Amino acid sequence: MLIMHQHWPGEYVFCPMCGTQLQVREVGPSKKRPACPECSFIHWRNPGVGAAVLVMDTDRRVLLIQRGPEASQSGLWAVPAGFVDYGEDIRAAAARELREETGLIAEIGNVVHVASNFDDPHKLTVGVWFSGLVTGGVLAAGDDAVDAVFFALTDLPELAFPTDEELFARLAAGELLLPTSSFD
């Protein structure tokens, strides 16, 4: 699926390098982007990158967080995840987000799923889901999560994102094998 260039509220009007008003120009075959006629800056409106950690317990239940009132899709459930900060390693971001949202510390394992997220046309993202093996911490919702609970794959709550639904369908079909974490 390709989302064509369209106006969005965060669109640059002036060049962030020199302050000149940007003009839309063709920068490749059928690619039009805001560009600066003075310093040649081109605004490549790239998607954000998200990192998620899929934790499974010894009963093969998956850890989900309930999204809080300030988060998009408030009240719905999702795999613990968040944006990778500029200059941050993606695995470090995954571990940080898991700890912030669930209180758990984990060894970040293999990539288990990668998907483009088109659910919010103003904030397109690419998500990378890693397996996680819990090594410490105490399960407690935090940051923009209001709850953190393990769910059976056959009894999932309403999910916030179609990409998580796709991931769980693959997991239920046996396409993915994940390490399990034990909890006291």
Could you tell me whether strands 180-181 and 48-57 are parallel, antiparallel, or unpaired per DSSP bridges? parallel
Kindly state whether residues 32 and 69 are assigned to the same domain: no
Kindly state whether residues 53 and 37 are assigned to the same domain: no
Residue 184 pLDDT? 54
Residue 148 pLDDT? 97
Beta-carbon neighbour count of residue 27 at 10 Å?
13
Kindly state whether residues 30 and 83 are assigned to the same domain: no
Kindly state whether residues 82 and 108 are assigned to the same domain: yes
DSSP code for 84: P
Residue 4 pLDDT? 46
Q: To the nearest 10°, the Cα dihedral for 17, 21, 24, 25? A: -60
Kindly state whether residues 32 and 90 are assigned to the same domain: no
Q: How far apart, in whole angstroms, are the C-alpha atoms of residue 50 and residue 94?
A: 8
Low-confidence ranges of the chain (pLDDT < 50): 1-5
Q: Which domain holds residue 98?
A: 48-181
Residue 3 inside a domain? The answer is no
Kindly state whether residues 119 and 135 are assigned to the same domain: yes
Kindly state whether residues 83 and 66 are assigned to the same domain: yes
Residue 150 pLDDT? 96
Residue 107 pLDDT? 96
